[in-house]
Structure 1
Amino acid sequence: MAAVAEISVDSAAATKLDSNAKPDTEFNVQKLVDMFTKLNPLAKEFVPSSHSHNHLRHLSSNQFYPNNFLVKPSDNDNYSNNRRRRNNFNQGRRLNGRVHKAQREDSIRRTVYVSDIDQHVTEERLAALFSSCGQVIDCRICGDTHSILRFAFVEFADERGARAALNLGGTVLGYYPVRVLPSKTAILPVNPTFLPRSDDEREMCSRTVYCTNIDKKISQAEVKNFFETACGEVTRLRLLGDHVHSTRIAFVEFAIAESAIFALGCSGMLLGTQPIRVSPSKTPVRPRIAHPMSC
């Protein structure tokens, strides 16, 4: 009996010692966890062959930390990236604004303002007068063709031409001496895609006039009837307008060039309630391209 009791005591003591130690299973699991934390999840041997390169590139766009676990960028990172992009955009916009301002100021320095222009003087004749001062790259005559209150802007290739043009003030062109002053504004450039592309389109321009200050209540049919009654057959007319401007504009193409010349004399005449302004067109009236209807 004493031997049996001794064996029981030894067994109980062994059981108590074993209860304080960790089971073998728990120890093995912990070893596996420690091993896996040291592995790279993007290592070649761990990436299934079914995954494409695009998937790997997508993974690489995320961030990795020293423990090699994949972590999504935080909201702070996204905020910083978005703010950086906005700053870059604003800086680019300010830079473009400064470039455009510098270009406009350069154009103004190369431009002169000419007033008291005879009603019979054309843009070609005015440009020919100032070509002795330097290369003329643009010439625009504005105002009522029935009065000497017409004015023009002449732009040169360089500032020397504009300075030399000031000396032509007082030169008689037609019946009146012109006045020449430095310009305070630049000539608004014509979109080059609208300019004539061929001899046929240049001929179309000679038969076309540009009409402004058209009453918004006037229809296209009324504009066409006005010019056909006063000048001759109209072959094409385009009436344009928007919600910003209080009046509309039109390009009127005649069958013959003589009708376009007569139309220039209509400047100042009432069309509806507004006196229209008519000038030679620098662009042809191209036919609209009809888009095929989808089935």
Structure 2
Amino acid sequence: MRELNELLTKLNPMAKEFVPPSLTKQGRNGGFFTVADSFLGAAGYFPVNEDGGFRWKKSFGPPQGKLRINPRTSIAQREDVIRRTVYVSDIDQQVTEEQLAGLFIGFGHVVDCRICGDPNSVLRFAFIEFTDEVGARAALNLSGTILGFYHVKVMPSKTAIAPVNPTFLPRTEDEREKCTRTIYCTNIDKKVTQTDIKLFFEAVCGEVLRLRLLGDYHHPTRIGFVEFVMVESAITALNCSGVLLGSLPIRVSPSKKPVRSRAVPRQQQ
């Protein structure tokens, strides 16, 4: 019995054969780090030997790699934004973001308004974010209000508005001034060319300085950005929303980004 006791006292409880495989991980050069090692590592101690020996040193610097952001703080901030946001459905396809936001500004300061959904769909949906929860709760009273030809439905949102890519926004004061002269046009017939769009807006609104037409064969319609020479021309162009261009009624709204493309050459007189 005494011999057995002496034998047991000589055993190393930290040896790999006494640690379940699920609680061990492979170290450098085939060594094994055990659960006990992980506690030491968490306290700031790291192995010095290349063979994973038990000589340690204290690390006073920050942990290697990326610093972790407190997930609780991130979640709390996101939940706060959600409580300040409402979900609006059954939006007439002719209604612009500016018109929709104008419906809600009487209930609080609107931070952002984002209309989503298929531009070819009769009804779309949107998210509207306020500066506080009071405005969001008051906005729920607008449910059932007629906007365009339909009664909109307003409910508390279950998600926040996705942030806009900052590279798309104006970068300088000059680009912000360009935005005041630029319109965003959607639901453009794919058969309509860039020249057709330019001629249409110049005949109705005024001289076009730049124009960019976007889209591909995978989408039924295209979008475009039109920058005018004068601000008054861009304001007049907003009244063209719903006008047939080709076989489809276009939708026009103020642009949130400038046209970053080469200028459209002016016709020689």
> What TM-score do you get using the length of structure 2 for normalisation?
0.53
Q: Work out whether 1:251 is the aligned partner of 2:225.
A: yes
* Aligned counterpart, 2:165: 191
Which structure shows the higher helix fraction? 1
Paired residue type of 2:107: F
Alpha-carbon distance in structure 2 between the residues aligned to 1:265 and 1:150: 21
Alpha-carbon distance in structure 2 between the residues aligned to 1:254 and 1:113: 34
CA distance change for structure 1 residues 116 and 239 in 2, over 3 Å: closer, same or farther? closer
Secondary structure of the structure 1 residue equivalent to 2:240: coil
* Aligned counterpart, 1:241: 215
RMSD of equivalent CA atoms:
4.3
Alpha-carbon distance in structure 1 between the residues aligned to 2:254 and 2:227: 11
Alpha-carbon distance in structure 2 between the residues aligned to 1:228 and 1:159: 45
Q: Size of the alignment, in residue pairs?
A: 184
* Aligned counterpart, 1:20: none
The answer (yes or no) to whether the contact 1:119–1:150 under 8 Å persists in 2 is no
Greater shift, 260-269 or 198-207, is seen at: 198-207
Partner of residue 129 from structure 1, selected from 106, 112, 120: 106
> Is there any run of 5+ residues in structure 2 with no aligned partner, and where?
1-27, 31-73, 118-122, 263-269
Paired residue type of 1:256: M
Secondary structure of the structure 2 residue equivalent to 1:284: coil
Post-superposition offset of 1:244: 2.8
Alpha-carbon distance in structure 2 between the residues aligned to 1:244 and 1:101: 37
Which structure shows the higher strand fraction? 2
The answer (yes or no) to whether the contact 1:212–1:277 under 8 Å persists in 2 is yes
The answer (yes or no) to whether the contact 2:183–2:225 under 8 Å persists in 1 is yes
* 1:68-217 matched pairs, under 5 angstroms: 109-113=83-87, 122=99, 125-126=102-103, 128-131=105-108, 136-140=110-114, 153-157=127-131, 159-167=133-141, 180-183=154-157, 187-217=161-191
* Aligned counterpart, 1:286: 260
Alpha-carbon distance in structure 2 between the residues aligned to 1:102 and 1:222: 50
Post-superposition offset of 1:273: 1.4
Paired residue type of 2:139: A
Paired residue type of 1:221: T
Alpha-carbon distance in structure 2 between the residues aligned to 1:167 and 1:219: 44
Post-superposition offset of 1:261: 1.4
Post-superposition offset of 1:234: 0.6
Alpha-carbon distance in structure 1 between the residues aligned to 2:75 and 2:194: 38
* Aligned counterpart, 1:232: 206
> Is there any run of 5+ residues in structure 1 with no aligned partner, and where?
1-61, 65-99, 144-148, 289-295
Identity among equivalent pairs (%):
67
Post-superposition offset of 1:245: 1.5
Post-superposition offset of 1:248: 0.7
